[in-house]
Chain A
Amino acid sequence: MTLPETSQMVAGRSRGARARGRAAIVARFLVVIVTTYLGLLAVTFFIGRVIPIDPVLAVLGDRAPAHVVERVREEMGLNLPLYQQFFRYLGDALQGNFGTSVLTTNPVMTDIRRVLPATFELATLGTLIGSLIGVPLGVLAAVKRGSLVDQAVRIVGLIGYSVPIFWLALLSLLLFYAQLRWVAFPGRIDVVYEYTFTPTTGLFLLDSLWQGQWDVFRDVFRHIILPASLLGYVSLAYISRMTRNFMLNELSQEYVVAARAKGLSETRIIWFHALRNAAVPLVTVIALSYASLLEGSVLTETVFAWPGIGLYITNSLQNADMNAVLGGTIVIGSIFIAINILSDILYRTLDPRTRAR
């Protein structure tokens, strides 16, 4: 009998092969990043050239004398051949130099450094709320499929993605700010603190905690909690729905029957075995929802006077401030790429089948 040999038929590989596999993955990631980024830059460059806004006139106004216009055009490199303009644009963009905003007269990058943390803080808190509540709700809905709980989760979700967020935002402001006085007036922070509090990272919750300024922390929290809950609710609607589907799929798998045959408790089967498997696709869902919040939720930022990137880009767009718009677009695009890669890496760590292929 050939038992000993066959028992060694493991699809295992040597350490060297594994390391090479990992290097190949990193290389592939890099190629993806570089090509996506180049594509992003090309598209923004192209948009910048075809829209009917003359960047020179945007800076000088339409009453500048012709020779000044000509000189500025030359300074901005707009009389160069298109491919040279593109390389120039590429070099600038890679250094984070997106020119000066006409509207604020600051370098665009300085503006973005100011507005991005506001959006980042809001989106992160929103996603945390959305996943920490959405995932358990989805699991419950799947486990108690067809029950009252399932229906309730369905309705909560339905409202979340069918009701316009600005309407919800206005209503909740009316209730929680105007009536109940539970939360603060729109904005990120009270005027009182605006001059006494100097943020270091721009994430006010963290900064105030770090500096031990409890009253500031409390104030910032009262400002952020309502918009973050609303964004959280909208992502919850999506996340709970997807969790339910993924869990239903996992709970019908044979390994769940095997886990029951082993005598495990339902709690362990659901929250450990099945959810751990459902977590693999869920990571992508949550990452995408997070990325979409990081784009800056214009409506929410408008209603809550939140000085984030969504509001910034919208304002720039309305004022034909192309440098700011394109710079903002590139930054958001970069964030998107980064989130995607992060979720890809997380996916690989969660699913052993995709590791080192």
Chain B
Amino acid sequence: MSPLLTVDDLRVSFPTRAGLVEAVRGVSFSLGRERLGIVGESGSGKSQTGRAIMGLTPPQARITAKTLSFDGIDLLEASPRERRELRGNRVAMILQDPKYSLNPVMTIGRQIVETLRTHRKISASEAKARAIAMLEAVQIRDAARVFDLHPHEVSGGMGQRAMIAMMLIAEPELLIADEPTSALDVTVQLEVLAILDRLVAERGMGLIFISHDLRLVSSFCDRVIVMYAGRIVEEIAAADLRNARHPYTQGLLSCMPEIGGDRHPLPVLDRKPEWAR
């Protein structure tokens, strides 16, 4: 079986006044209908990797790759229109903070319906029924009422569920979740993750879970990629994370506190320039 997504030697660079800045520098991986975690600190290129796959890289950036294909479609050769038809339909993305990623002047229901009606020819009433069903699927009990609310009228957790509903309603095969719970309270994080977990399993989607939280990723994903300065420094099965070989991964792991653990001095994350080479 050919993989859902193939990324080979992906590079994303931005022209700036100081010259070309490479955000992603030769990332390669392939993905089936599985869960892949991408971990790294801010600026490691993990978000830009996700956006390049989505086709949401800012227009001034340059993208090159030996291969960037989704289900046999060469994404670099595809026209803007073809890529647009993939987005929201077969490949979707969940953004970080529902406070900013939902349109403040549109009701939640309309925003969900909009995704569906962009990609499917169905009547307004049927779209509404499906949007409400989708809201129920993300465990919003009073879905018919929430349908008519504006984003500012719901809590962060509820907003992120609406975001998930909006992105999953057209039943994509690949979902990119870019820090989907980082803006939420810890207690709400777990609920949203549980919902995401169930939907990804039920629908058999491929998932790329982008996060800076190594522990979260390792508990949620099958496989983890660790990125540093635009490169993959380690790729490892989530279960084997404890045995990570790369010093950067070990550094990230040792940063995590343990209950009852008492460490002096606290470990400091090592950053060696040669890892970036």
* Chain A positions near chain B (C-beta within 8 angstroms): 1, 3-4, 6-12, 253-255, 257-265, 273, 276-277, 280, 350-353
In the complex the two chains form, is A261's CB within 8 Å of B105's CB?
Answer: no
- Say whether, besides A254-B97, A255-B100, A350 and B105 are in contact (CB < 8 Å): yes
Min CB distance A229 to B, Å, is 32
**Which of B105, B145, B154 is the one whose CB lies under 8 Å from A277?**
B105
Interface presence of B119 (CB below 8 A) = yes
Q: Which residue of A lies closest to B102 (CB)?
A: A255
Please list the 4 inter-chain residue pairs (A to B) with the smallest Cβ-Cβ separation, ordered nearest first: A263-B88, A263-B87, A262-B88, A254-B100
Q: How far is A7 from B159 in the complex, measured between Cα atoms in Å?
A: 10
Mask: chain B, 151-166; 1 = CB below 8 Å from A; 0 = not: 0111101100101001
Chain A neighbourhood of B161, CB < 8 A? 7
Contact A11 B105 (CB under 8 A): no
Contacts of B106 in A (CB 8 A): 273, 276
In the complex, what residues of A have CB within 8 A of residue B97's CB?
254
Known: A12-B153, A276-B105. 20 other contacts (CB 8 A): A7-B161, A8-B142, A11-B155, A12-B145, A12-B149, A254-B96, A258-B103, A258-B166, A259-B103, A260-B56, A261-B54, A261-B87, A261-B88, A261-B167, A262-B167, A263-B88, A263-B118, A264-B118, A350-B105, A351-B105
Nearest CB on B from A4, distance (A): 6
Q: Which of A10, A255, A259, A353 lies in contact with B154, CB distance below 8 A?
A: A10
B84 within 8 Å of A (CB atoms): yes
Could you say which residues of chain A place their CB within 8 Å of the CB of B149?
Answer: 10, 12
C-alpha spacing A352/B107, complex, angstroms: 9
**Is B101 in contact with chain A by the CB < 8 A criterion?**
yes
When C-beta atoms are compared, the residue in chain A nearest to B190 turns out to be A1
A-B contact pairs, 13 of them (CB 8 A): A10-B154, A11-B155, A12-B153, A258-B95, A258-B166, A261-B56, A262-B167, A263-B84, A263-B88, A264-B88, A264-B118, A352-B104, A352-B152
Residues of B within 8 Å of A7, CB to CB, are 139-142, 158, 161
Q: Is the CB of A9 within 8 A of B158?
A: yes
**Which listed residue (A3, A10, A262, A350) contacts B118, Cβ 8 A?**
A262
Chain B residue with Cβ nearest A255: B103
B56 touches A6 (CB 8 A): no
B84 touches A3 (CB 8 A): no
CB pair B114–A262 under 8 Å, yes or no, is yes
- Whether the pair A255, B104 counts as a contact (CB closer than 8 A) is yes
Interface 1/0 per residue, B48-59 and A, CB below 8 Å: 000000101000
Write the nearest CB–CB distance from B141 to chain A, whole angstroms. 5
Docked Cα-Cα span, A77 to B154, in Å, equals 62
Q: Check A255 against B101 for contact (C-beta < 8 Å).
A: yes
Q: Does B237 contact A (CB under 8 A)?
A: no
**Distance A260 CA – B118 CA, assembled complex (angstroms):** 11
The answer to whether B155 touches A9 (Cβ under 8 A) is yes
Query: Does B93 have its Cβ within 8 Å of any Cβ on chain A?
Result: yes
Q: Which residues of B contact A264 (CB under 8 A)?
A: 84, 88, 114, 118
Q: Do residues B89 and A263 form an inter-chain contact, with CB atoms below 8 A?
A: yes
Which B residues touch A273, using CB under 8 A? 103, 106
B103, B106, B194 interface centre (most CB from chain A within 10 Å) = B103
Taking a contact as CB atoms under 8 Å apart, the answer to whether A352 and B84 are in contact is no
Residues of B within 8 A of A261 (CB): 54, 56, 87-88, 92-93, 95, 167
Residue from B141, B166, B191, B194 within 8 A of A262 (CB atoms) = B166
Complex Cα gap A263–B114 (Å): 10
Which residue of chain B is the closest to A11 with respect to CB atoms? B153
CB distance from B198 to the nearest CB of A (A): 11
Task: List the B side residues contacting A350 at CB < 8 Å.
Answer: 105
Given A7-B158, A11-B154, do A257 and B56 touch, yes or no (CB 8 Å)? yes
Q: Tell me the complex Cα distance, A350–B152, Å.
A: 14
Check B141–A265 contact: CB distance below 8 A: no
Q: Which residues from A are CB-within-8-Å of B152? A: 11, 352-353
Nearest-neighbour CB distance to chain A for B187, whole angstroms, equals 8
Docked CA distance A9–B194 (Å): 18
Cα distance, A1 to B191, chains bound together (Å): 9
* Of the residues A10, A11, A262, A280, contact of B115 by C-beta under 8 Å: A262
- Bound complex: CA of A7 vs CA of B97, how far in Å? 18
Chain A residue numbers with a CB within 8 Å of B167 are 261-262
B178 to chain A, nearest CB (A): 10
CA distance A265 to B194 in the complex (A): 32
Bound-state CA distance A259–B54 (Å) is 12
Judged by a CB distance under 8 angstroms, whether B188 is at the interface is yes
Contact flags B79-121 to A (C-beta < 8 A → 1, else 0) = 0000011111100110111001111111000000011001100
Determine which of A3, A4, A11, A254 lies in contact with B101 in the assembled complex, contact meaning CB atoms within 8 Å: A254
**B130 an interface residue at 8 Å Cβ cutoff?**
no
Pick from A1, A258, A352: contact of B163, CB below 8 A.
A258
Q: Report whether B141 and A4 are in contact in the complex, using a CB–CB cutoff of 8 Å.
A: yes
Residues from chain A with Cβ under 8 Å of B85 in the complex: 263
CB distance from B225 to the nearest CB of A (A): 21
Is B150's CB within 8 Å of the partner chain A? yes
**Which single residue of chain A is at the shortest CB-CB distance from B104?**
A353
Is the C-beta of B227 less than 8 angstroms from some C-beta in chain A?
no
In the complex with contacts A7-B158, A8-B142, A263-B86 CB distance below 8 A: yes
Q: For residue A326, give the distance in angstroms from its CB to the closest CB of chain B.
A: 43
Q: Is the CB of A277 within 8 A of B142?
A: no
Bound form: Cα–Cα A353–B100 in Å: 13
**Complex interface: chain A residues within 8 A of B140 (CB):** 7
Cβ–Cβ contact B150 & A353, under 8 A? yes
**Complex interface: chain B residues within 8 A of A1 (CB):** 191, 194
B146 at the A interface (CB under 8 A): yes
When distances are taken between beta carbons in the complex, the residues of chain A under 8 Å from B155 are: 6, 9-11
